[in-house]
Amino acid sequence: MATCSSLNLHHRCWSRLDLPWRPPRLMLNFHSVSATTTVATSSLAGKAPFERCSSGCIGIRTCSRKSKWIIRRCSTNPFVVVDDEKYGNKQVVSVTPSLYEYILGNVREPEILRQLREETASLHGSQMQVSPDQAQLLAMLVQILMAERCIEVGVYTGYSSLAVALVLPESGRLVACERDAKALEVAKKYYERAGVLHKVDIKYGLAADVLKSLILNGEACSYDFAFVDAEKRKNQEYFELLLQLLVRI
């Protein structure tokens, strides 16, 4: 097993070693992070607002009129924070505000994903949704790996799983694990609208139980790609279970 500590996106990935001529199988994990807090003072009237981040330091907030995103960076913090009602609060490692604005402004987001993202923005917990650039990274990896059988642990309203399902072949299968019934209803609605419901095997319940049931049903070593975006304290358990489900070559 090979370990990669980062993808330059504050995420963690794991891959099984594979033959040189065949792409490796991947397991990805996106970490959730806390947003910064704006500090309002009368002396800042008419100027770019200052803010205090979670580590206590002060930074400057900048706003793009063209994109309507507020992109913030702390002078002593390597994270860039993107604050927008349609995107939620996102932190990205080692990316300047101007570069991240460019990424978001040029990401290839299908219309159905845009609609789902905007509907999700009005829901409780919308910050849990991955950003458009992250979803397109997942879709690109699935295509590069020529993956046909995928697992997602932590679906929420289905933004990332829909991005993956859209690029899977017609014979592909995505096991989507989620314990929030209301969020899962939104996801299912968009799977249907996008015409990919036949590719998605929705599993409502605790992810660990779902993964164990897949193993017991004889599906070990049969999946090409796994993405984890769920309860962080259970990452190790998810990791060990998914290693049993990924293809071994």
The stretches of the chain forming alpha helices (DSSP H) are 97-106, 111-120, 132-145, 159-167, 181-194, 207-216, 235-245
What pairs with residue 71 in β-bridges? 62, 82
Kindly report whether the global pTM for this prediction surpasses the value 0.75.
no
What pairs with residue 89 in β-bridges? 83
- Whether residue 200 contacts residue 174, with contact meaning beta carbons closer than 8 Å, is answered with yes
Domains and CATH numbers, the chain: 2-31+127-245 (3.40.50.150), 37-106 (no CATH)
Dihedral of CA atoms 208, 214, 219, 221 in degrees, nearest 10, equals 0
- CA atoms of 130 and 112, how far apart (whole Å): 15
Summarised one tens digit per residue, pLDDT across range 19-74 is 344 455 666 665 443 333 222 222 333 333 334 444 333 333 444 444 444 545 44
Summarised one tens digit per residue, pLDDT across range 136-182 is 999 999 999 999 999 999 999 999 999 999 999 999 999 999 999 99
Summarised one tens digit per residue, pLDDT across range 202-214 is 999 999 999 999 9
